[in-house]
Amino acid sequence: MSTKISNSSLIGLLVQLQICFAECGSSPTTGGCLASTASSTYSSFTYEQESTDRYAIPLTSPLSLPTFAPAFDAVSTLLPTSVVYTTYSLNRSATAVDDGLYGQSAYAALWVSLTYSQEPPFTTTASPTPVATSELIFPPPLPARPLNEDKSLRFPCDFIWGAAASAWQIEGGLQAEGRGPAVFDAIGSVGTVGMNDSNVADMSYFLYKQDIARLAALGIPNYSFSISWSRVVPFGTAGSPVNTQALEHYEDVIKTCYEYGVTPIATLMHIDSPFGIFDDMDAFPEHFLHYAKEVMTRFADRIPIWFTINEPNIAVPYVSRNYNIFTAQLKAHAEVYHWYKEVLNGTGRIATKFANNLAVPLDPTNQSHIDASIRYQEFTLGIMANPLFLGQQIPKAALQTPGLNLTALTDEEIKFINGSADFWAFDPYVAQFAYPPEEGYDACISNSSNPLWPVCVGTGNTQSNGWLMGAISDTYSMIAPQYVRQQLGYVWNVYKPSGIMVTEFGFPQIADSEQELRVQQFDFERSMYYQNFLTETLHAVHSDGVNVIGALAWSWIDNNEFGNFGHQYGMQTVNRTDGLFTRHYKRSIFDYVDFFHNYIAS
């Protein structure tokens, strides 16, 4: 219920209050309680409509940007002439023949151990339909007081905001149009248990036109997506054929972005490295560069920002105990960086994305907890960021962990890697508490069977006084905005990048997927997460001097969280049972847009 107060009655009220302060201040109080200063009155009751229809403001289209590299015609000579451009199609009933290293039979053999119980329900690109006006009405005001109490704070006018997703998590059609298998394709395949079928995900491989139209209709200006390496190069390796259907697909994704006014931001590898690509680690940089060149010569003229590898800092320990893969990935990243800047003459920006749920000491007065936090951070960020941002060696903590066999970088390697990121791209979902292992460092570090080895730091989200750090979600993310400034401040002050872009942040509400549509759409907690996180980010900018240059939400759509469709990070729902994979906006996407409309300098 809102009360309407006119200027004159407001002045009257203020006068009344002043009189009361003057009088009540000196008058005796009852039991130490000051008498109420509000004066009660009766008047006639009237209903007021609290909800007015406010509509989303779409992007202006088409997009007009300067070019960021020469057009393909001018740089096609940079590609090796020996590469074969072809198409593949998986036919399991075809008899295998010996058609060479890269023939159709060889392609089918890549897939021999992977089948899926669900086939994509349609296999042609759907035409976009205009988003119905009825879908573009803002929800009622957030049921909480505005969180940004300082209305004067603003992000700079060139702040890059938008939303992100990745190929494997939204595309579906894993075996469609000549795609080769990637490392996570076993998830949800026949024979693996307890996982949803990854072969459909959000069917965005066929629905991308509508997906981009829906972002534009809400006025979301930047779309961070990833290109599937094994679609473009089905066999993955340097010198192996390029699948023209994949090139055409991503060409059209970018073209569609421009048509609708959405700025495309592209990632080259988002957890979906081609199957077996790390078997020969030393050859990894060469394989990655082969793929990157094919993509960048064609698309770099229209892509202002590239991310090479998504979250290698946590992906490597997740898939292998061989930490020298970090070096292979750093070299691969730096190769692409140098080629883009110095050979292709790209003028856009490049970075690699870091994940980090900042370790903060569980007991900040206890030196061993502080040491544990620093050790965690040095493993999680320092191994890659020391050479990349500081031109320094891998931290001693990692090099000196017995049995880890991590080889120090040579001076030449450091020189090549140093500075090969134009800003810090950061996915800081939440913070966590850190403490030393119960059995002590020495016992843990010298025992590679210890589940905490090699980092040997305990982590959790419960404060030492028993309270949780914040409101929990379906996975690790929490609403704990009190640590956002430290999350950004750690990176800013330790690695001194020119700027930090928050390239993922988000929150999967508990049991979201079990609710009916209307309830899922009113995703209040997700909005709270974003509003709080962004408000604290504004404080990091204005009070702590951190140069935050952008923010990209994870995600604009519920997606495949590694075989789980229940952990919903999306600001849109997907109906995976209606045959059409219909999307619906949730309230968080409106609140997210509103935040930037209110808090970006004009």
Ligand X SMILES: *[C@@H]1O[C@H](CO)[C@@H](O)[C@H](O)[C@H]1NC(C)=O
Binding residues for ligand X (CB under 6 A): 70, 75, 91, 93-95, 160-161, 194-196, 221-222, 263, 304-305, 321-322, 345, 366, 368-369, 391, 403-405, 414-415, 418-419, 435-436, 443, 447, 449-450, 513, 517, 563-566, 575, 577-578
Nearer to ligand X, 15 or 71 (CB): 71
- CB-neighbour burial class of residue 8 (10 A; exposed 0-12, middle 13-18, buried 19+): exposed
Nearer to ligand X, 67 or 575 (CB): 575
Coil/strand/helix, residue 155: strand
Nearer to ligand X, 381 or 485 (CB): 381
| Alpha helix segments (H runs only) across 27-155 | 72-75, 104-110
CB of 446 to ligand X, least distance (A): 8
Count CB-CB contacts under 10 A for residue 233: 26
| Alpha helix segments (H runs only) across 36-125 | 72-75, 104-110
CB of 280 to ligand X, least distance (A): 16
Quote the CA–CA distance of 360 and 539 in Å, as a whole number.
19
Nearer to ligand X, 54 or 415 (CB): 415
Helices 524-543 and 484-495, packing angle to 10 deg: 40
Q: What share of the chain is helix, strand, coil (3-state, %, to 5)?
A: 35, 15, 50
For residues 99-133, one letter each, b for 16 or more C-beta atoms within 10 angstroms of the residue's C-beta and e for the rest, the string is: eeebbbebbbebbeebebeeebeeeeeeebeebee
What φ, ψ does residue 501 adopt, rounded to 5°? -110, 125
CB of 30 to ligand X, least distance (A): 48
Nearer to ligand X, 88 or 529 (CB): 88
CB of 392 to ligand X, least distance (A): 7
Token pair recorded at residue 3: 């009360």
Nearer to ligand X, 237 or 549 (CB): 549
- Are the beta carbons of 325 and 314 closer than 8 angstroms? no
Residue type, 390: L
Nearer to ligand X, 485 or 502 (CB): 502
Q: Which residues contact 425 (CB under 8 A, 6 or more apart)?
A: 307, 351, 352, 353, 354, 501, 503
CB of 345 to ligand X, least distance (A): 4
Print the SS3 string covering 343-382.
HCCCCCEEEEEEECCCEEECCCCCHHHHHHHHHHHHHHHH
- Are the beta carbons of 196 and 188 closer than 8 angstroms? yes
Nearer to ligand X, 223 or 275 (CB): 223
Nearer to ligand X, 236 or 423 (CB): 423
CB of 190 to ligand X, least distance (A): 14
CB of 243 to ligand X, least distance (A): 17
Q: What is the DSSP letter of 274?
A: B
Token pair recorded at residue 162: 């938008």
Nearer to ligand X, 313 or 520 (CB): 520
Nearer to ligand X, 489 or 566 (CB): 566
Q: What is the DSSP letter of 434?
A: E
Quote the CA–CA distance of 190 and 538 in Å, as a whole number.
47
CB of 393 to ligand X, least distance (A): 9
- Which of 554, 560, 562 is closest to 533 using CA atoms? 554
CB of 143 to ligand X, least distance (A): 22
CB of 218 to ligand X, least distance (A): 13
Helices 324-338 and 284-299, packing angle to 10 deg: 30
Quote the CA–CA distance of 536 and 58 in Å, as a whole number.
27
CB of 444 to ligand X, least distance (A): 8
Nearer to ligand X, 219 or 470 (CB): 219
CB of 28 to ligand X, least distance (A): 50
Q: What is the DSSP letter of 505?
A: -
- Kindly report the length of the chain: 602
Determine the residue with CB nearest ligand X. Answer: 391
Nearer to ligand X, 75 or 540 (CB): 75
CB of 430 to ligand X, least distance (A): 21
